[in-house]
Structure 1
Amino acid sequence: MTGMTMPKIMYGTAWKKERTTELVTQAVKAGFRGIDTACQPKHYREDLVGQALKGLFNEGIVSREDLFIQTKFTSIDGQDKNQPLPYDPKLSINEQVKQSFETSLKNLGVEYIDSVVLHSPLKTKEQTLIAYKTLEKFVEEGKINNLGISNIYDPNLLLWLMENSNVNIGVVQNRWYEGNGWDWGVWEICQKHNIRYQSFWTLTGSPTLLQHPHLIDLASKYGLTPEQTVYKLCQLWDITPLCGSTTLSHINEALAVESATGLTKDTPEVKQLWDAMHG
């Protein structure tokens, strides 16, 4: 991956609505250096992320180069047609992607974006490839550093897209939770091909994991909360979790995970959890 290295934890901006500027500012001032958003007014206020960035840059809190900024192209199926759309839905997919990306640049007030992700596969493989290849042109122009795809749970579709694209997939962002068996099939492809796996629903979707005896033991032994322990496991297993917390105390707890020492992949309880989650 080129440009700013992806942080080991990202701040997720979905469903923040009118509080987006305030919460992104809070997260960055606390220490977050990765921000995830989307050009999808239904669930994100990408424009208010941009307002936060403008304020942070003007205050000298961070520079553009200090941040890993990621957004998404959302196809018409994922948009709310009753809200103003970021592109003309009557245009071709190629033109929709172009308009969406230009909208993102304007919303965010930046000249380049570290990572742009397809929010999900489109209706057909061919349409998905068209959207991806349109984004490839912006990589060639130096306006995007990394490309990726989200909500892709079919390993064969991921492999097909990898085989037919020119710019290597750098990011996969999926639900990583007990409901999909931890998505190990896609995760393994990412490991093999140097693709960064990002997780969402990491805590909300995993109540059983948060109460697992091995995890509780780890948390107690290393002075972490169960939630911090899950984030630490992600980082040990080459997963970048998204954290969308709105409270400063939880934000600080999430950021503290990276400096937590002692836990390794070889810690017995970690190995036991790994085996249990692969069972």
Structure 2
Amino acid sequence: MEKNNNEVNRREFLKVTTKFTAATIFIGLGSSALFGANTGNQKKMSIPTVTLNNGVVMPRLGFGTNTLADAVGVRSVSEAISVGYRLIDTAHIYGNEAAVGEGIRQSGIDRKELFLTSKLWVDFAGYENTKKAFETSIKKLGVDYLDLYLIHRPRGDVKGSWLAMEELVKAGKIRAIGVSNFDPEQMKELLSYAKIAPAINQIETNVFFQEKDLYPLLKGSATQIEAWSPLAAGRGGIFSNPILAAIGKKYQKSIAQVCLRWHYQRGVVTIPRSSQKAHMIENLNIFDFELAESDMQTIATLDLNTTQFPEWK
């Protein structure tokens, strides 16, 4: 993935266009908040939430961890939690579940305050394999339940995997289940036998790939859209795009903040990833401005209608 040049571009743009403070953003997701109780004394800015189709409450902005492994992963997760993230996303294939778990422990936060996601990889599709893979994941993470468990890709015995995940929900081991990278036909097939409808479809969507076919279908369904790599992992020159830069200058916001706000206004949950604490904080500061409809329409013109991650196809 493109890292060095994009990271430099992002930092330079931040210096020029953004005046932000390193204020901590906080969301309380303890058991009382999850069931709608009013805590009454939160003075810090809260990350907005969405209620999934089974009543579970999920933050609309979280922290992605793909490629953040070993010591970097531990530090990044701990720092992300310290600055206010409560939704943490990982997966078996990332090879960092143990690091994520250690980062959570080092943060000192109560597990119940977090919304933790992991994903089932294709090698473990099927009923029995899914149950074993789930147990391996929670053991590595050092937790006894997941808030969200996703089928990472629509491969192999999806039906068997879904049945196992439904049973894990009933057993209280998973609070919500969903899928990732499922297209409309694959969603239709899943819904033909699912007793529990998927709460999430985590897909590639960004300003260069706006999913103009899948997006409206999901928006009109009971399945919440979540974007992996919502900043396109820096690909396509996103952090030096002149159109996004001009919009950012208008609001005194960075390109990353403009993109994340665009997702937010489209009703998409996002999980941006960064190993830089300043960027973690920057990504949280998107709730004090609103993109005008004209800016939303301008961003729509950036759609190339093609994946920025061809290696995933």
Q: TM-score, normalised by structure 1?
A: 0.82
1:232 corresponds to which of 249, 257, 261: 261
Q: Secondary structure at the match of 2:271?
A: strand
The answer as to 2:214 corresponding to 1:186 is yes
Describe the shift of the 1:197–1:205 C-alpha distance in structure 2 as closer, same or farther (beyond 3 A).
farther
1:85 aligned partner: none
Corresponding position: 1:101 with 2:134: yes
Q: Does 1:150 align with 2:176?
A: no
Residues 4 and 68 in structure 1, CA contact (< 8 A), matched pair in contact too: no
Provide the secondary structure at the position in 2 that maps to 1:50.
helix
Structure 1 stretches of at least 4 aligned residues deviating more than 6 Å after TM superposition: none
User: Does the residue aligned with 2:95 lie in a helix, a strand or coil?
Assistant: coil
Give the alignment partner of residue 63 of structure 1, picking from 101, 110, 130: 110
Task: Note if 1:207 corresponds to 2:236.
Answer: yes
Unpaired stretches in structure 2, ≥5 consecutive residues: 1-51, 306-313
Residue equivalent to 2:23:
none
Deviation at 1:183, TM superposition (A): 2.0
Change (3 A) 1:213 1:269: farther
Q: How far does residue 172 in structure 1 lie from its aligned partner after superposition?
A: 0.9
Structure 1 pair 237–209 and aligned structure 2 pair: CA distance change class (3 A): farther
Residue identity opposite 2:215 in structure 1: W
Hey, what's the Cα distance between the residues in 1 that align with 2:114 and 2:56? 7
Distance 2:219 2:256 in 1: 24
Q: After superposition, give the CA deviation of every residue in 1:164-199 in whole Å (9 maximum; x if it has no partner).
A: 2111111111111466x4223222222111322111
Counterpart mapping for 1:1-279 below 5 A: 1=52, 2=54, 5-18=57-70, 19-40=72-93, 43-56=94-107, 59=108, 62-76=109-123, 93-123=126-156, 127-152=157-182, 154-177=183-206, 181-203=209-231, 204=233, 207=236, 213-257=242-286, 259-263=287-291, 267-274=293-300, 277=303
CA separation in 1, counterparts of 2:138 and 2:69?
A: 19
**Aligned partners of 2:207 and 2:259 also within 8 Å:** no
* Alpha-carbon distance between aligned partners in 1 of 2:159 and 2:213, rounded to the nearest angstrom: 21
Residues 186-230 of structure 1, C-alpha deviations (whole Å, 9 max, x = no match): 222221113221112322265366555543332111111111100
The 1:269/1:189 distance shift into structure 2, 3 A limit, reads same
TM-score, with length taken from structure 2: 0.73
Tell me: CA distance 1:170–1:213, structure 2 relative to 1, closer, same or farther (3 Å). Answer: same
**Number of aligned pairs?**
251
Aligned-partner residue type, residue 212 of structure 2: W
Gaps of 5+ in 1: 77-88
1:39 offset after TM fit, Å? 2.1
Sequence identity (%): 23
After superposition, the CA RMSD in angstroms is 2.3
Quickly say closer, same or farther: Cα 1:113–1:254, change in 2 above 3 A: same
Q: Which has the higher contact order (CA 8 A, sep 6+)?
A: 2
User: 2:29 aligns to what?
Assistant: none
Q: Which whole-Å deviations, capped at 9, do the CAs of 1:79-107 have from their partners, x for residues lacking one?
A: xxxxxxxxxx7xx8211100111112212
8 Å Cα contact 1:93/1:131 also seen in 2: yes
Read off the aligned partner of 2:97 and give its amino acid letter. E
Q: Which amino acid aligns with 1:37?
A: T
Secondary structure in structure 1 of the residue aligned to 2:211: helix
